Amino acid sequence: MKAIQISKPYVMNVIDIAEPVLGDDEVLLKMKYVGFCGSDLNTYRGGNPMVRMPVVPGHEVGAEVVKVGKNVPEGLKPGMTVTVNPYTNCGKCASCRNGRVNACQHNETLGVQRWGAMCEYISLPWEKVIPAGLLTPRTCALIEPMSVGFHAVSRAQVTDIDVVLVIGCGMVGMGAVVRSVQRGATVVAADIDDEKLSLARQMGASYTINTMTEDVHARLLEMTSGFGPDVVIEAVGSTPTYQMAVDEVAFTGRVICIGYAKSEVSFQTKYFVQKELDIRGSRNAQPSDFRAVIHYLERGTCPVDRLISNVVTPENAEAAMKQWDEKPGKVFRILVEF
C-alpha cells in the first residue's frame, strides 16, 4: 500500500509498504485525511530529537472503519467515521499510575517514536479509536491538535474570572483559545501574524496582540487594569515566548507550557518566587479532551475551512512541506488526502 516516508532531513518520498494484519483486539482503518503537524515539520527539518528515522509521519487522523477484530466491542462498526488517540501508555509508570496516561513516561506517538498514519490503512487497538459522530473525515483531522490546546486549558484550571493570554495561534493555540472562551475567560491571543490573530478573534478572543509590532507589556497592563493575565499558555516553544510567559503573567498566576523550546532558556528565577507562580507542563491530551473537541466541532461554529491551509495528494506532500518550511507562519494545517 501507499505511504509517505521521511527518510532523512529534507527527504520525503512515497513508498510501498505491506498492508497491516488485523488483530483480534484491533480495528482496521482506511485513512481519508491525515494532517501534518509542527512535529512533522521538525522531523522533515531534522530537528525532532524524539523521532526514529526513517519514519512514516502523521497522527492527526480522519478515517473510516473497514473491519474490526473479533474481540472489539459492538460500538465500533465498519463504515463509521473516526479519529484516533495516537499516544501509547504503558500502564505501569508514575503517570499511568496517577491516571494521567497522556503523559506516560514510555509514550510512543504515531509518526514520532513509531510509524504513523500517512498511509492508506492502519490497524490499531480498539481503545485508541474514537467515534466522531456526524463529523466528516476532513474535519476529524483537526481533532487531535485542538485537543492538545483543550488539555492545556484543563491544566490551567481556567475559570470565568480569568484573563488568559495564549501565545501562539497555530492549531494548538487555537484550541486553547476556544476552550478558554468556552469556560468564560477573557482571552488575549498573541502571535506574529495578523491573519492568525484575525482568526483568533473569530474563534472568540476578546483581544489580540501582534508581538512583532506592538508593546506586549503595555498592552497587557492596559487590558488587565495593571495586573497582567491570570494564565499564560505558551504554545510556540521558543526562548522569547517562554520568557514572555514568565515575565507577563500576573502575581500568583499560572504558566502552562505546551511548546518544546529548541534550545536552553534563561529565566529571571526571582519571578518564580516573587510571583509565587504555578508553572505546569501540558503534554498531549486525555480522552475527555478528544470528546470535548468533537462536541465543539459538531456545533458547526468552527471556521474549519480557514483552519485548513491546503489539501494535497501523497505525491504532492513533499512540495507542500517545502512551502511550509519556507513560510511556517502562514500555515495552519496541511492535510494529505488518501
**Does residue 85 register a pLDDT over 90?**
yes
Q: Tell me, what's the pLDDT at 236?
A: 94
- Give the Cα separation of 76 and 127 in Å (integer): 10
Based on the number of CB atoms within 10 Å of its own CB, is 84 exposed (0-12), middle (13-18) or buried (19 or more)?
buried
Question: In the predicted model, what is the mean pLDDT of the chain?
Answer: 96
Radius of gyration over every alpha carbon of the chain, rounded to an integer in angstroms: 20
Q: What pLDDT digit, counting tens, does each position of 94-135 carry?
A: 999 999 999 999 999 999 999 999 999 999 999 999 999 999
Give the per-residue pLDDT at 330: 79
- Cα of first residue to Cα of last residue in the chain, in angstroms, is 11
**Cβ atoms of 96 and 89 closer than 8 Å:** yes
Condensed to tens digits (0 to 9), the pLDDT of residues 267-318 reads 889 999 999 999 999 999 999 999 999 999 999 999 999 999 999 999 999 9
**What is residue 47's predicted lDDT score, i.e. its pLDDT?**
86
pLDDT for position 34: 98
Give the C-alpha separation, 335 to 177, whole Å.
22
Mean pLDDT value across residues 86-91: 96
Tell me the average pLDDT across 11-34. 97
In the chain, which residue ranges form alpha helices assigned H by DSSP?
38-45, 94-97, 137-140, 143-156, 171-182, 194-202, 216-223, 239-248, 270-274, 287-298, 304-307, 317-326
Q: Which of 186, 196, 192 is nearest to 164 (CA)?
A: 186
Determine what percent of the chain is predicted with pLDDT higher than 90: 92
Distance, in Å, from the CA atom of 294 to the CA atom of 142, rounded to the nearest integer, reads 10
237 phi-psi bin (left φ>0, alpha ψ -120 to 50, beta other): left
pLDDT at residue 50, as a whole number: 84
**What whole-number distance in Å separates Cα of residue 167 and Cα of residue 126?**
35
Cα gap 45→42, rounded to integer Å:
5
In order, the DSSP letters of 46-82 are T--TT--SSB----EEEEEEEEE-TTS-TT--TT-EE
**For residue 181, pLDDT beyond 80:** yes
- Which H/E stretch holds residue 83? strand 81-84
Taking only the tens place, the pLDDT of each residue in 211-263 is 999 999 999 999 999 999 999 999 999 999 999 999 999 999 999 999 888 78
CB atoms inside a 10 Å sphere around CB 329: 12
SS3 32: strand
Task: Respond yes or no on whether the N-terminal peptide bond of residue 57 is cis (omega within 30° of 0).
Answer: no
Q: Which residue type sits at 176? A: A
Are residues 205 and 187 in contact, defined by beta-carbon separation less than 8 angstroms?
A: yes
268's grid cell: 529571571
* pLDDT at residue 332, as a whole number: 87
* Cα 328 to Cα 4, 314, 321, distances in angstroms: 21, 20, 10
